[in-house]
A = this chain, B = another copy of it.
Amino acid sequence: MIRFGVIGAGRIGKVHAKTIAANPKAKLAYIADAMPEAAQALSDQYGARVATVEDIMKAKDVDAVLIGSPTGFHAEQIQTASNAGKAIMCEKPVSLSVDLITQTLKVVEKNKTTLMIGFNRRFDPNFAEVERRIRNGDVGTVEMVTVISRDPAPPPAQYVKGSGGIFADMMIHDFDMARFLMGEEFVVVQALGAALVDKEIGEAGDVDTAAVQMQTKSGKIAVITNSRRATYGYDQRMEVHGSKGMVHAKNVHNSTVEVLSDQGYRADPIQNFFLERYSVAYANELNAFIEAVESGNHDPKPNGFDGLQAQILAEAATQSWKTGKPVAL
């Protein structure tokens, strides 16, 4: 039984609290939030106790800290928890500063802390199956990875301002996925972007539509496209082409039902919300973390290095978009 202290009672904190509460090997011990009422409400729902971040870090009945606070606090909280001997699961991104991530990972490494970064999509059963097929050799040598991510609807422009931009806030999941499936690091990044969905996003200095192409040293190519709005639901697809064939994961529909009429064949819409779409992924992610903690595995994937690399790619893409030039890594 792993006892968790959860930091952050916002949208993602709620996801993790619910997932922990439903896991028979986990105990939701404490919840901390800058807004005490939020922490209280969430604690009440799952029978946990409210605490400060400091309390959680010091608590003897906390084995693991789940960091779901705003991005700006992640690095410091990782370091504190690491020094306190806690296992850590931290939401992405680790930090918007590559330097700060590097410095943080040194602390983690010194302490031999079990640290996992919340790239939950690696644990989606469909995407995990894609990766298994690749490792199994079903498509031979990988040559090209394509990742398509489209959110159902754009966030408020206000959110966008503090988000680090589409490449760090949204595409960072796809950078991690491209690395996960490719199995090689990228050495050049080219980005394009535009605010086509919502003018205010453009006025906030960000884009809502973006494309990135990247290449590894051996010449393999990854292509990522993002949109902040898809009327047909939460579009999450990937495709990997190799010397022996191709493997892809399709979207997940609400049901297998199809209605046929003089309007054609109509399949049910796809799942529209990340909590619904990735609920199994969050549960599997937690299981993987617990297994690492229980077995003393200090380096479960996705680890701090994965968090660092994704951020490096996000920064490179942002720079490429802003300058109109490729960025070499």
Contact = CB atoms under 8 A, between A and B. Distances in A.
Nearest to A269: B264
22 contacts: A139-B259, A141-B196, A192-B213, A192-B215, A192-B221, A194-B219, A210-B221, A211-B213, A211-B223, A230-B241, A230-B260, A232-B246, A244-B261, A245-B262, A246-B259, A248-B258, A248-B260, A250-B257, A250-B258, A263-B266, A265-B269, A266-B267
Interface in A282-329: 324-326
The 5 closest A-B pairs by CB, nearest first: A194-B219, A245-B261, A232-B260, A265-B267, A250-B256
How many chain copies does the complex carry?
4
A261 B243 CA distance: 10
Nearest to A194: B219
Interface residues of A, number: 69
B213 A255 contact: no
Interface stretch (A35-43, A57-65, A98-106, A126-134): A126-134
B213 A209 contact: no
Nearest to A146: B225
A244 B231 contact: yes
A317 to B, nearest CB: 12
Contacts of A130: 257
Contacts of A255: 125-126, 129, 249
A259 B126 CA distance: 12
A203 B237 CA distance: 35
Contacts of A196: 141, 143, 219-220, 243
A235 B218 CA distance: 24
Given A197-B143, A241-B150, A261 B249 contact: no
Nearest to A196: B143
A267 B261 CA distance: 11
Contacts of A248: 257-258, 260
Given A190-B192, A232-B245, A235-B246, 12 more contacts: A126-B256, A141-B196, A143-B196, A143-B209, A144-B211, A195-B219, A196-B219, A223-B223, A232-B246, A249-B255, A250-B256, A325-B326
Interface of A: 125-126, 129-130, 133, 138-139, 141, 143-144, 146, 150, 188, 190, 192, 194-197, 209-211, 213-215, 218-221, 223, 225, 227, 229-232, 235, 241, 243-270, 324-326
A297 B209 CA distance: 39
A138 to B, nearest CB: 5
A225 to B, nearest CB: 6
Contacts of A210: 221
